[in-house]
Amino acid sequence: MRILHTMIRVGDLERSIAFYTEILGMRLLRRQDYPEGRFTLAFVGYGPESEGAVLELTHNWDTAAYDLGNGYGHLALAVPDAASACAEIKRRGGKVVREAGPMKHGTTVIAFVEDPDGYKVELIEAK
């Protein structure tokens, strides 16, 4: 067994695809409209779905926004240098909500950015 994808619901699919591809550097792997169900699925990731887990962006055509709730935490991405990644994300128009620095009660360097729907993405500096 392996993890295939994580799904999040997004209010504006084009804005979300732009964030994950233009700001975080993922690729749009596939996209499919389901007119009878009034939704679209878009899959983004850093490599082919056959080789690793990806992110499924679900856009329900009649829903502009979602309550994120308090059970969801964040996505996590490994980066070579968290401070440099934050600088590049800001340069591309992304929102950094926690600058790079050691995690609370530890030494791992982390940072957090926020996607257009308010989902948090943690950047973890590779050791």
Catalytic residues: 122
Kindly report the backbone phi and psi dihedral angles of residue 120, in degrees, each rounded to the nearest multiple of 5, phi listed first: -90, 140
Kindly report the backbone phi and psi dihedral angles of residue 73, in degrees, each rounded to the nearest multiple of 5, phi listed first: -105, -85
For residue 118, the Cα-to-chain-centroid distance in whole angstroms is 10
The two structure tokens encoding residue 84: 């440099």
Say if residues 111 and 86 touch (Cβ distance below 8 Å).
yes
Closest to 86 measured CA to CA, from 46, 44, 124:
124
Say if residues 56 and 65 touch (Cβ distance below 8 Å).
no
The two structure tokens encoding residue 48: 């082919």
